[in-house]
Structure 1
């Protein structure tokens, strides 16, 4: 578990970092670079137009023997090389030569992502892409360069080390302790031992951008007309900041000559020479690579260790706004994109990659190129200004196209792979009408829930005579309950290798409730007719009729009582603990921009917010709640949508009259109001401790934030949230330090879940794809968890407001960020006994974090019939395959709770398949991981480079650790 406080060495901070008595001048490593946002305040194609000119000039400068310009760093990302070479492929060899000669630094990333939104596995895939492309050009820059993202996940040290990087260079996310530590420290991952050497850029990555152009900042940087006097003044201010703000005591410092889309300066060598004359004896500048700087810092660190004076150590996230704005509102900007990203990646994680891994293991093709094609589309949406939702509308419209492309490629991959997979199983059934299909649970825990069903069936027999269909598992291991209709024959396209069959066939459409589906592959069958199997546990019971005084449902684990105002209570039947008033809706004004939420009432004149402090934590001017609003402003209706022994679903329809917009001039919400429709579908399942909810808001108003409030009644100083390969414990209250560039905001990021607990137990909220929560003191003195449903805002950036006093980007309208129309959030609630961190299991035998991972995943349904012929007939099923009706490709054995599986995929080199796990608990996990087809298990790094064989499949994943294994 991440721990926020810095772990200091035994010497005092002053002793550790005082270097003022040294006679040697400071060495300044000046690194020319560019930070190339692929899309931001301009969409991609407009930025690429500029990129072509930029790279042309850069290549000419680096190749000119008279330029005295030895090297340049290309922003730590490799996607820009692809973007450029799509237009000018003839220049590839020129770039390769510059990379091999050490004049052009590329990588280690594919794109510079937001780390918190995309999650840990996407960061690994990003670095895999970056490594592969960098190697194609001659080798990557082996520095963990991450300049602009809005903070950094606590497991980044483990991820960087997992791909062979032992350094970290950053700008944003520092707390005040970083300055006290002299901006150089050892950053330690959640396992307590994996670390990287971290350096905070002082003050930031563009510290010497446009050097000599301080007076005429918009002049072309290729101009020889630089102002040497202003350049020396700029460097003096940086030196003053090193001493007065950043407590810099290392004998070397890194200075970046470049910024967002800025061209290289041919005058840089001359300015370095002039500075060395001007500051002789104080600082000596050298044109350098990032690696040159870290070589010197590592040597200094080694000498400190030899002197018994090691660096400060820190374990945890870097997510504070001491000297640079953190911009935490991006976690709720354009939430529809975050949810789209999560859904698209899960198609790859849960559906496509395990299918490809099985096909390879059984002798099929590994298909790495097609998988990389899908991932390339996803990763191109992960640059921080894209996935954060803080760009112009056109940028985000392009993102939707890329996600669609990724899903289209995934669909074709599944169509291709199913032909490899179908012959491996026994798809036969004694009933000639039976239509086979495959179910795959990708998780190492049993799965329960509802899956959509849409499969073609033959135009024969019972499929033409019956109106409904049911489903059965061939091995009887688990239960299915289908609610499905048989449609009349309709036209469809069925893709064959070199043409399509356009034929009319009936379909079975509806849903399947699944209970206790074990890990791995299962053969199932559809049959015409009706059959109602008994539920897996005690039947779900619910109240009858529409008596508003008593609407309830219960299984053997939880009871839910609905209120007339649209809220509900949950009673944990094993402990009697009650959680009351859940699902409350709250709405307040939005006076901020895509980077930051803000209350109104704090007007800031254009340009006046620079360096203005935030004296107090702002509060909303106009906050409204569904349970306290006037009756004339709200209409609530409740009715049962589903009631059977397997499950019950309550449909809650809320019509809420809300202000139409926010008035900047008055800093108040408009008197004009419109009705906003919000619907909940609240579902309870037999034998499940999780209450599942789907909420849809039809957002017809602007400039507001709607949240779902979950009162927990828990008294605690902390909450725990899911993160990138970890569970992160955080305080829910943060002191307001007005001297910071951006004091702590109450909203925080999460991945899949957030929970509040005390010694007896607690309440977990699951919300995959929704990245923002706030924990605060509720009306009863316990903690409320606030989940953001939608945040509507009309600006990319603004000059200033309550939570940020100066712009974070160009002041530009972004009407698409209002998120008008339907916004859907899938979420769940689960009471639990004991503390999750003690690995206590719930009533169904899984730990809280295991259930959260299962809730976020979706099993796959794959058609079992061969594709139809031109006459709408089907070829006979293949002979019974060697895998029978049930198969698990890999077997993970060991004590509960088990580590979380995040991916199972074919190896990048086509030799084996790779699996990645993490252990978020405080206890080492020992067990075995074996392939059911006789392959050996090997430990590997995150680039899938094998290190050693795991004898008999025995593995150990340390507390807080991440582990990658290759089966081959």
Structure 2
């Protein structure tokens, strides 16, 4: 028997304090660690399975880098493999892999070798596909605390964890939690060690035990090196790799488990974090999608043309994004200051992405793509393009258009005069340069009247026929112009087409159709294509959808329901009372066109303003929220798309949109695989759990139910929580005002400090994009359609340059 004593500290980089305030404590902590390593040759310390602690420390203590490098090289100081300790369900599987790449590279940059165990002590549950993600980076083990249910606890502290694809790792469940703080009294500390050993033995599958010393933001206890030396066998200083290596040397036959770890039996699962501050999750989703499916493909296409920017720019964008992925950060369960700083990181990453995309498009202007609409399709399956473009006003109203061989339609989102510039002609070059910094100049026109020039500029993707700005300057000077007035317009439109060519990349000509494109008939309050017919209930605005082929009708779709929430950022806690339903104010037909039809629905929702002072009921005073939803039915689609916008003016509530339908439990995609989530409700068997089961499940991209008609479901671009009772529902907003509370029946213990967090009330404009899918024969078919929706084709009008070759349509 041997007890591997791993000295550590669980370091939430930001949580109830900001990152900089915690860094102040981190520097003091690692100063103490380095001093103990210097004084005690047998002592070892592990940096919580993440490497960013090295970066944060050495930015303040660069003079101690030599010491850090020496201890990393010797293996007495360990870090990684993660860059940050992530939440697994609220970020993409690719982001988890990039997280590992950054962490392992950082440790090696400072002269060490990363810990080769997926150490996730405090993550709020674990992915079914985590074994495959870890194996993809050469990691063959995981160590965790939260998430196991009765079926996993029965396996003991070690088991073989198998991913759906067959990848296997050795998993260690920490029976007594991820850290122990010892008493400074020697006899009391020895008693704690004996008790811990007995508890570990009770669930052990091996003669090798793992005991961690150190907890949340704890500094190393200076008496521990002498204490462990005096106690002696079976206690030895160790690290995760040494412990797992000793386990492997035993050649144990371990029981196997396949599936997620999302139970609140032993430790609170804290599933309310799936919907706390949803705006953070949506912004993270959009930036992840942009980097993977826009910026990286554009950079790859542009590589042969011109000098590419350094690869460190792309790494910088990913690093900024992943710094938002610690579980207390992306989960929305920190103080307001933390989440304000997350917005800054997101803005910085978006700025890098913007410049990388602009540079790639300019270099593609020297390729055969010049002058064409470049379309990238991230997913196979039905390809429907909806992309925002900045185009000249005269082209927006040009009539019937084609993209390649397909009819296309424009939807004008905004067309406005954004500025007027007036002054001397000498200022014209500076104005044009400033405009070019914001947007390429798409369209120029001007008239010279005596010594005065009147011009119009439309900002946007540069058109092939747009004269260079230098031409305007030269003509103005030649004409003796002395004064200039420029009116600057910005026209934002959406270009849509129902069918795109096969393949990931297409370069298509956008042109006015010669003939043969008929205007669609005038729409009535409903939608129909060759597959689905949609009707609107005039009272509550729910939809009835009939599938033509099967004759099946779904009713009550898109039901807006609101309930009071007395919980905190960690846990939803419903206030007694029936859900409040919306009322339909009006239905208006949207823009007709050759690609899709649409309806604009306006709902009214009258809600209690907040909770009563006793927090056991909703207040009698009310606020009214107007909810605008645009419903889109593409011409050849078997799904409906929704774009919903409202200003959240109520406090202490949760608003969901529901889609009734048959089926028990749910299917969902999760980091690249499909998982099954059975229904589990609070009952006698869960009465003693650390947290009661909740109808709140992580939404990666889509969720579905198996019904007699087939597999039907929902999908979303960035919404991260769904419910599976009485159909499927999506959370649009959850408003709470407390970081943590200790008076919730669902979770009797505190999950964090009892701090007020007014920002978690989400008093802001809420925008959500989601879809409902009629039944498919298999989950694979529905999943392919859903992924084609959540990661749609995207397009850009590639500018031209004097060196551009002629492009093929």
Q: Same fold (TM over 0.5)?
A: yes
Aligned to 2:151: 177
Contact 1:677 1:698 in 2 (8 A): yes
Residue number in structure 1 paired with 2:255: 312
Does 1:190 pair with 2:164? yes
Question: 1:721–1:727: 8 Å Cα contact kept in structure 2?
Answer: yes
The answer as to whether partners of 1:31 and 1:254 remain within 8 angstroms in 2 is yes
Match of 2:82 in 1: 109
How far off its partner does 1:393 sit? 0.3
In the alignment, which residue of structure 2 is the partner of 1:414? 357
What is the match of residue 445 of structure 1?
Answer: 381
Is the 1:333–1:388 Cα contact (8 Å) retained in structure 2?
A: yes
3-state SS, counterpart of residue 323 of structure 1 = coil
Secondary structure in structure 2 of the residue aligned to 1:706 = strand
**Alignment match, 1:254:** 210
- Residue-by-residue CA offset, 1:671-712 (whole Å, 9 max, x unaligned): 111112222111112111121101123211111111111101
CA spacing shift, 1:472–1:361, aligned 2, 3 Å: farther
2 CA distance for matches of 1:329 and 1:59?
38
Deviation at 1:110, TM superposition (A): 0.7
CA contact (8 A) 2:8 2:46 kept: yes
Distance 2:556 2:418 in 1: 48
CA distance in 2, matches of 1:594, 1:517: 43
Note if contact 1:758-1:835 (Cα within 8 Å) is conserved in structure 2: no
Aligned to 1:686: 635
Cα deviation 1:22-47 (Å, max 9, x = unaligned): xxxx3211100111111000011111
Residue 483 to residue 679, structure 1, CA distance change in 2 (3 Å): closer
1:638-649 equivalences under 5 Å are 638-649=587-598
Partner of 2:785: 851
Distance 2:321 2:676 in 1: 29
User: Is the Cα contact below 8 Å between 2:717 and 2:769 reproduced in 1?
Assistant: yes
Shift in alpha-carbon separation, 1:571–1:467, aligned structure 2, 3 A: closer
Query: 1: CA distance between counterparts of 2:208 and 2:354?
Result: 53
- Residues 278-306 of structure 1, C-alpha deviation per residue, up to 9 Å, x if partnerless? xxxxx721111111111111122x1x3xx
Deviation of the 1:274 alpha carbon: 4.5
Aligned to 2:298: 355
Matched, 1:125 2:77: no
Shift of the 472–370 alpha-carbon distance from structure 1 to 2, 3 Å rule, reads: farther
Contact kept in structure 1, 2:606 and 2:622, CA below 8 Å: yes
Question: What does residue range 437-836 of structure 1 map to in structure 2 within 5 Å?
Answer: 437-455=373-391, 468-469=397-398, 476-484=404-412, 505-507=457-459, 508-518=491-501, 519-525=503-509, 534=517, 543-544=523-524, 551-564=525-538, 565-600=540-575, 621-626=576-581, 634=583, 636-665=585-614, 667-712=616-661, 714=662, 716-734=663-681, 736=683, 737-777=686-726, 784-836=727-779
Would you say the 8 A contact 1:756–1:764 is kept in 2?
yes
- Secondary structure of residue in 2 paired with 1:516: coil
Instruction: Give distance in 2, aligned partners of 1:249 and 1:28.
Output: 13
Alpha-carbon shift at residue 814 of structure 1 (Å): 0.7
SS of alignment partner, residue 89 of structure 2 = helix
1:449-480 residue CA offsets vs partner (Å, 9 max, x unmatched): 4221114x5xxxxx7x7772468667x25442
RMSD between aligned residues: 2.7
Change (3 A) 1:664 1:314: farther
1:718 Cα offset (Å): 3.1
Inter-CA distance 289–489: structure 2 relative to 1 (3 Å threshold): closer
Could you tell me how far 1:116 is from its partner in structure 2? 0.5
Q: Is the 8 A contact 1:110 1:129 kept in 2?
A: yes
Tell me how far apart the structure 1 counterparts of residues 100 and 434 of structure 2 sit (CA, whole Å).
34
User: Secondary structure at 1:30's aligned position in 2?
Assistant: strand
Deviation at 1:524, TM superposition (A): 4.0
**Partner residue in 2 for 1:861:** 795
Map 1:890-905 onto structure 2 (within 5 A).
none
CA change 1:499–1:168 in 2 (3 A) is: closer
Deviation at 1:361, TM superposition (A): 5.8
Q: CA deviation at 1:445?
A: 3.4
Residue-by-residue CA offset, 1:1-26 (whole Å, 9 max, x unaligned) = xxxxxxxxxxxxxxxxxxxxxxxxx3
Q: Decide whether the 8 Å contact of 2:497 with 2:595 is kept in 1.
A: no
SS in 2 for 1:42: coil
SS for the counterpart of 1:788 is: strand
- 1:794 to partner: Cα distance: 0.4
Conserved 8 A contact 1:660-1:673: yes
2: CA distance between counterparts of 1:100 and 1:725?
A: 36
Name the CA shift for 1:747/1:108 in 2 (closer, same or farther; >3 Å): same
Cα deviation, 1:289-327, whole Å, max 9, x if unaligned, reads 111111111122x1x3xxxxx211001111112211111
**Structure 1 position 250, deviation (Å):** 1.8
CA distance in 1, matches of 2:352, 2:91: 20
Q: 1:761·1:834 contact (CA, 8 Å) conserved in 2?
A: yes
Deviations 1:906-932 (A, max 9, x none): xxxxxxxxxxxxxxxxxxxxxxxxxxx
Give me the whole-angstrom Cα distance separating, in 2, the residues matched to 1:38 and 1:371. 23
Distance of 1:473 and 1:467 partners within structure 2? 13
Shift in Å, 1:498: 11
Distance across 1 between alignment mates of 2:79 and 2:768: 39
Aligned to 1:663, the other structure's residue is in SS state: coil
Deviates more, 1:160-169 or 1:44-53: 44-53
- Maintained 8 Å contact 2:713/2:728: no
Separation in structure 2 between the aligned mates of residue 178 and residue 89 of structure 1, nearest angstrom: 45
Q: 1:238 aligns with which of 180, 196, 200?
A: 196
CA displacement, residues 847-903 of structure 1 (integer Å, 9 cap, x when unaligned): 21111111111433334224xxxxxxxx646223xxx436xxxxxxxxxxxxxxxxx
Count of aligned positions: 749
Q: Counterparts of 1:141 and 1:93 in 2: how far apart (Å)? A: 20
1:743-766 CA distance string (max 9 Å, x none) = 322221121111112243142111
> Helix, strand or coil: the match of 1:669?
coil
**Aligned residue among 229, 233, 244 for 1:294:** 244
8 Å Cα contact 1:467-1:486 kept in structure 2: no
What is the Cα deviation at residue 647 of structure 1?
Answer: 2.3
- 2:49·2:115 contact (CA, 8 Å) conserved in 1? yes
CA pair 252-419 structure 1, distance change in 2 beyond 3 A: same
Change in CA separation of 1:635 and 1:853 when aligned onto 2, cut-off 3 Å:
closer
